Chain A
Amino acid sequence: MFRLNLKIALRNLWKNKVYATINIVGLALGLTAFVLMILYINHEESYDKWSPDLKNVYQIREKHDFFTPDNKEHWNEVSNSRIANLIRTKLPQAVAVTKVDNDWSFGSGYSVKTDNADPVMVNKIKDSDSSFFKVFDYQFVQGSADQALENKNTIVLKEDLALKLFGTTRALGKTIKIIRWRDDKGDLFTVTGIVSEPKTPQSVHFSAIMRTGNKDRDPDEPTNNNYCLMFTKLNKASDTLVLNQTLQKLYVDFRKNLLKGQEEDYEDMQKPKKLPGLKVIPLATVHSNPPYTLSWFEKLKPVMAISAFLLLVSIINFINLATAQSVQRAKEVGVKKVLGSYKSQLTAQFLVESGLQSLISLFLCIVLIEMVLPAFNQQFNVALSFWHNARLLVLIAQLVGLFVFVTLLAGLYPAWVLSNYNPVAVLKGNYENGLRGVVLRNVLVVFQFVISVTFIISIGVMEMQSRFMSSKDLGFERGNLINIKTNYEDNFAERLKKIPGVQYVATTTQVLGNSFNVPEEIKYKGKPIKLNTVTVTMDALPALGVKVLQGRIFSREYKSDTVNTVVLNEAAANLFGKNLIGQTYQKTDWEGKDNIFQVVGIIKNYHNEGFDKAVLPTVYKVTRLGGTSNTNNLLVRFNTAQHKEIISKIEKEWRMLYPNFPIEYNSLDDAFSKVLEENRRFMNMIVLFSLVSVSLSLLGLFALSTFVAKRKTKEIAVRKVLGASNIQIVSLLNKSFLILVVVANLVSWPVAYIIIKKWLEGFAYRIEVPFIPFAAATLISVIIAILTVSIQARKAAVTDPVNALKYE
């Protein structure tokens, strides 16, 4: 029986090739978007799950404002290094505590030298202490977790790095030299262990863990703090709620102790509503709870909703087409019932058919995924894989579940409709129950078009916003400017200045691609103002090519510029008030001394971060007064577009001075495209979804028009006999669908407007909601709808009316 049903199903698919193809392709499209989403979710879900032992591992988080993007207090992943000792000594449940470097955004890695080979840059070499592998359970290929980091100047490599450096994983006992910054002399490390790469991704991702000894002790000065990641392993999985109350108490005591005898005591610290905080969270939840940003789940929610919805739409299209086609199968049902088939047997038969189609769709979907995965991975910067999945069995189980779900959802209704045909009526040639479900189908088509039109509008607006951003005046000249990843050093800078074509060499802590915010509070005419401080060298502002609005920028002609003058940007000047040039303000440093600064100029705001962030009110200063900061930015401005030769000369100078450290630089043009990149990615994803959505709604429309054309066969025939022309028939059919599409457009305009407005509000610099995309989307949707419907309408119009009428 099953074999015969399968055979009939195949013959039916073959007979209705076009419909079957539409069904299967539509379903495959919906499935592809959904399965990609599953792959992505699986990947994100699998973080830090490589060993059952990790259940007892917790990350320590402290609430503070150090190095937060908005200079406000947040729960941070990086915590004061002293907390490790606090937990080690005061929390009896803690079996081990480890400190490890965070991924800082600047500096891409360390230079590593093995024997006489050229130095290579290696990313993600992290400094930790002897407890790292006691907290994190890694598989040691060589060495052991207990002894690997027992001594200073030891290092444990991942297999990949060992292969890269030595060509073998048998590297135990070999030494490597690590040069951490440009003029670092470098330290020798002995390889004491090789660990294999775990099956799942890790929050603390490293290529090697070294022990320099820096993580073994805390700074002596109580006001000096080191911040790093901290993890603890407890003797058993614990209730974090209770644990965190204990920790909070320990922490308050600790803060009081630390600040005892300081001018700023604990009570003072609490004044600006700063509450101290310390807590732990299970390692498994670390990846899904990033500080300051939305978690992947939150970010993905709308996308998940869209992809689930697209799958649903494709299933409903499937149902629509199947029921629209069911008229053809009515006779078969009638005959089979007369031959003594139970209804359940017929239902089973039709389920087999939809199962067959969804199985084919699933295979097609897997093929599609294999095809799009490389592009997807590149787009979203992940390494997803279908076959080489760490949890292939889970994935297969999910797919089987999906298959059953889709089959039942897509197959049950048509099967029910079909198996309910009354054999007597059907065999008399009378199956006029086509009106059923038309309203539902119309609503569905409208719904699909609402989504498609909204997508099309969004794409239009996004395109306009990205054009706006890429052509926006940045407030500085990004051409002919490179940024070398190093700090300012006179010797090197002077050498560079001698190279013909080099106009300026300078440093700043604020430049597109690497901005470092140092918050400070100053007093101007008794009024406190919060500012962001940037330390620059004399040439930095001219090197950037900023625009001066009032006064002047720094120059060597003015001795005072190295003493106490500052330049403000427009945003800062607005906080001060008018007639600023020559005015002074005060800033109290941490020793309690008042420093006086004089404002000499105001420059136009220049962009140093993405367009989602407003330019911070910033003060620029050359003087060391009030403290300086320093990040690895060395700006080199060329006065010619012929970069290649100049850069090779710069590289030559670099190699002479710093043979142990490879040069790293990027152009400001690159930094700018990187800023735009995330937006471009997002847009590509939306384009992808729109493509799926638009094709699905066209399939849906096609199904509905087929259905209606079939249902109206007699009406069309009668009209033709009465003298209607083909064009009249086509437009007759088109009219009812055009209404649907127009309704969909009317619905999607406000929807799209709200969504787009919200999206645009995420940008500090944005366009007004434009009108053109709305009009364009409507036009496009109407045109493609007419084209789609006309395919069916024309077919119906040109058939010979005699054939249609003969049946009656």
Chain B
Amino acid sequence: MIQLTNIEKYYASKGVKNYVLRLVTTTINQGEFVSVMGPSGAGKSTLLNIIGMLEEPTYGNYHFMGEDVTSLNERKRIELYRNHIGFVFQAYHLIDEMTVYENIEAPLLYKKVGSAERASRIADLLDRFNIVAKKDLFPNQLSGGQQQLVGIARALAAQPSIILADEPTGNLQSAQAEEIMSLFKKLNEEEGITIIQVTHSEKNAQYGNRILHIADGLIKEDIKIQA
């Protein structure tokens, strides 16, 4: 599903190349739950952003579902990730001026989903995450865990085949963190959604079935976890 070949990312400053990623080559298949781990500044988030098409690699090839992402124009690329990828952030990044309902609805609007279909999908998600009662509240009226639930619901609304999560539990207390991680596991196992998460926590990494260790822009270890 995702094929990275010799991905490099560097920033040139004063003639010196500062590498963030070097020669990253890996394949991630449909249905995997991958945790990317490593120290601060190792390039985890950059890798995730490249997979999510928010950043472009300086060098290398990236094939997503058989398409060469690096050769696509901006519009095509947006189309591709809007249809297949859901993002979840550490700081939730809900839009403050929108209600819970509207936040979940937003990606569907960009995807031009019909209004009846929109309503039923949102109702379904609200129901599944037990936040029906909160649908008219604004993000700042919710707890962190609840906000992240909305964040995940928003990511799922577009029915993506893959979810990219950048430290999804970094701002949460452990009980809430566990709840979110179980949710990811459930989504992965029951609905076959591919999940790639960046995490610092060994415990969270154990929810998945594969761990990529990154340091200084290189993949140091690629471990499969047996359930």
Known: A1-B109, A4-B109. A339 touches B97 (CB 8 A): no
| Complex: A518 Cα to B102 Cα, angstroms | 84
**A341-B110, A424-B54, A424-B55 as given contacts; A336 in contact with B95, CB under 8 Å:** yes
Contact mask for chain B residues 52-67; partner A; CB cutoff 8 A; 1 contact, 0 none? 1011000000000000
The stretch from B30-38, B81-89, B168-176 touching chain A is B81-89
* 8 Å CB contact of A336 from B91, B105, B106: B106
- Is B161 in contact with chain A by the CB < 8 A criterion? no
Q: Are A340 and B95 in contact (CB under 8 A)?
A: no
Task: Render A578-604 as a binary contact track against B, CB cut-off 8 A, 1 for contact.
Answer: 000000000000000000000000000
In angstroms, Cα B106 to Cα A8, docked, is: 12
A335 CB-CB contact with B under 8 Å? yes
- Contact indicator B95/A338 (Cβ below 8 Å): no
Interface membership of chain A positions 327-339, coded 1 if the CB is closer than 8 angstroms to chain B and 0 otherwise: 0000110111111
A436 within 8 A of B: no
Given contacts A339-B154, A340-B81, A342-B75, contact A331 B93 (CB under 8 A): yes
| Contact across chains for A8 and B97 when beta carbons are under 8 A apart | yes
CB nearest to B98 among chain A residues: A8
- B107 in the interface (beta carbon within 8 A): yes
Q: Which residues of B contact A345 (CB under 8 A)?
A: 110
A-B pairs with beta carbons under 8 A, tally: 63
Q: How many residues of B contact A (CB 8 A)?
A: 30
A339 touches B82 (CB 8 A): yes
A-side binding surface: helix, strand, loop or mixed?
helix
Q: Are B54 and A340 in contact (CB under 8 A)?
A: no
Residues B102 and A339 in contact, CB atoms below 8 Å apart: no
Interface string of A401-442 (1 = CB under 8 A from B): 000000000000000000000011001110000000000000
In Å, the complex CA distance between A15 and B93 comes to 18
**Chain B residue at minimum C-beta to C-beta distance from A9:** B97
- Determine whether B183 belongs to the interface, using a CB cutoff of 8 Å to chain A: no
Residues on B with C-beta less than 8 A from A331 are 93, 95-96
Q: Are A340 and B93 in contact (CB under 8 A)?
A: no
**Quick one: given A339-B106, A342-B78, are A423 and B54 in contact (CB under 8 Å)?**
yes
Give Cα A744 to B54, complex, Å.
Answer: 45
> Could you say which residues of chain A place their CB within 8 Å of the CB of B49?
424
**Could you say which residues of chain B place their CB within 8 Å of the CB of A332?**
95-97
B158 beta carbon closer than 8 Å to chain A: yes
- For the complex, give the distance between the alpha carbons of A516 and B96 in Å: 76
A11 and B139 CA atoms in complex are apart in Å by 14
Which A residues are closer than 8 A to B by beta carbons?
A: 1, 4, 7-8, 11-12, 15, 331-332, 334-343, 345, 423-424, 427-429
Task: List 27 A–B pairs whose Cβ atoms lie within 8 Å, in order of A's numbering.
Answer: A4-B105, A4-B106, A7-B102, A331-B93, A332-B95, A335-B94, A336-B95, A336-B106, A337-B54, A338-B54, A338-B93, A339-B106, A339-B110, A340-B78, A340-B79, A340-B83, A340-B111, A340-B158, A341-B78, A341-B110, A342-B75, A342-B78, A345-B110, A424-B49, A424-B55, A427-B89, A427-B93
| Beyond A4-B102, A331-B95, A339-B110, 20 additional pairs, beta carbon < 8 A | A1-B109, A4-B109, A11-B97, A15-B97, A331-B93, A335-B95, A336-B95, A338-B54, A338-B93, A339-B82, A339-B154, A339-B158, A340-B83, A341-B78, A341-B110, A342-B78, A424-B49, A424-B54, A424-B55, A429-B91
